[in-house]
A = this chain, B = another copy of it.
Amino acid sequence: MTITETNPALRNGVDTSTLFATLDAVKQAPAAAQFQFRAHNEWMNGTHSRSTISDFFGVGEERQHERTFVFGADHPAVLVGHDNGPTPVEFVLHALAACLTAGLANIAAARKVTLTEVRSTVSGDIDLNGILGLDPEVRNGYQQIDVRFKVKGNASPEVLRELVEQSRARSAVYDIISNRVPVSIEVDAA
């Protein structure tokens, strides 16, 4: 983190001058903030499928990630799969950890706090009697998700905790999981 001492605009690896310029630009043109993200999935075999993530829409135009990302998902043997990737529900936990952590780094940088370590473990409890259709009282998804953060930086524990709280309050994935998102499904079958 030596670079933060020579370039105060680059703290926690966040270019705060660009961050603030982006905020100003969106204030002037709120429509620039309309994004659409996408995943393209292909079934491989059994519970194994693979998603390609590359194209998205944002700031008024179609865009591409710098690389095409491909991820497999599967069930482990104990859930009648072949463990070719994590389970879909584990990707949800990764998404939550990554979203809260990215927000934390941005918010800390904006408030001139230098972070030296951020680790988290996200765990989700699920009763498979739900998805197995064995107990109509049991929901299909996680019953509870717990996030445990370890955060170090040049601010008091109170301030560091407040930064995490602000990240939670502005997290897209936290909102998706803890509130309802409408999902539509269309099927072209042949």
Interface residues of A (CB under 8 A from B): 12-15, 18-19, 22-23, 26-27, 30, 33-49, 51, 53, 56, 58-59, 63, 65-67, 69, 71, 73-81, 83, 85-106, 115, 117-135, 139-152, 157-158, 160-161, 164-165, 168, 170-190
Contact = CB atoms under 8 A, between A and B. Distances in A.
B173 A47 contact: no
Contacts of A182: 143-145, 178
Nearest to A128: B33
Number of this chain's copies in the complex: 2
A128 B26 CA distance: 9
A183 B131 contact: no
A182 to B, nearest CB: 5
Nearest to A151: B189
A100 to B, nearest CB: 8
Contacts of A92: 91-92, 95, 173, 176
A149 B102 contact: no
A176 B143 CA distance: 9
A179 to B, nearest CB: 6
A22 B47 CA distance: 15
Given A101-B41, A178-B180, A88 B95 contact: yes
Contacts of A129: 26, 30, 33
Q: Which 9 A-B pairs have the closest CB atoms?
A: A13-B46, A141-B175, A13-B45, A41-B97, A73-B98, A43-B118, A88-B99, A160-B189, A47-B102
Contact of A126 (B23, B37, B122): B37
B49 A173 contact: no
A18 B71 CA distance: 26
